[in-house]
Structure 1
Amino acid sequence: MTKIGNKITELRKQKGWSQSELANQIKASREAIGKYERNEALPSVETAKNIADIFDVSLDYLVSDTLKPSFDKRMIERLQDFELLSEVDKSHLFALLDAFLRDAKTKRAYS
């Protein structure tokens, strides 16, 4: 089970930030960041949202057991835009996506 503190640590290190730098970015104390990363405390929903925003991941990823962010913010924005399309346009996009995914799976199978 991946804990939120482990994800915060991983994301912070990927950015090359210190705990103090992350704290400054989200307007929190370095001590609070340390407690989150050691899983001694949980951030409030607002703080968790700020952390997710600063690392460009979804809040769902940050608090879930998922090891990789399956839907980053760009993907979520695209899905939201997709919902605004007409049913005909959605159908066309699904056909295109299905064909692309089929081809990608075929390539992997024969590689």
Structure 2
Amino acid sequence: MLHIGNAIAELRESREITQEDLAKTLGIARSTLSHYEKNRRKPPLDIIVLLANTFNITVEQIINFHKREI
């Protein structure tokens, strides 16, 4: 089972975006983003929506990232 944090990290890295830059875009601390990526915390829905908008994909695609629908 792939956790959403893995999807966030893979999406970010595939677009060559730093944690610092993505965190600024989302309006959160870099450490918070790190916790999401390492599956220590689950991002709230509003952050998932912002991520989808940032990566120009749907929320469903982030949630189902392990299926490689992106």
TM-score (norm 2): 0.89
Inter-partner Cα distance in structure 2 for 1:6 and 1:22: 15
Q: Distance in 1 between matches of 2:65 and 2:25?
A: 25
Equivalent position of 1:35 in the other structure: 35
Percent sequence identity over aligned pairs: 26
**Aligned residue number for residue 7 of structure 2:** 7
Answering whether residue 50 of structure 2 is matched by residue 50 of structure 1, we say yes
Moved more, 59-68 or 39-48: 59-68
SS for the counterpart of 1:62 is helix
Q: Which amino acid counterpart does residue 64 of structure 1 have in structure 2?
A: N
User: Highest Rg: 1 or 2?
Assistant: 1
Note if contact 2:7-2:65 (Cα within 8 Å) is conserved in structure 1.
no
2:21 aligned residue: 21
Number of residue pairs matched by the alignment:
70
Q: Is the 8 A contact 1:2 1:67 kept in 2?
A: no
Q: Is the 8 A contact 1:3 1:65 kept in 2?
A: no
What letter matches 1:69 in structure 2?
A: E
Does the 8 Å CA contact 2:11/2:55 hold for their aligned counterparts?
A: yes
Per chain length, whose mean CA-contact separation is higher, i.e. which structure has more relative contact order (CA < 8 Å, sep 6+)?
Answer: 2
Classify 1:68/1:30 alpha carbon distance in 2 versus 1 (closer, same or farther; 3 Å): same
Any stretches of 5+ residues in structure 2 without a counterpart?
none
Runs of 4+ in 1 over 2 A off after TM superposition: 64-67
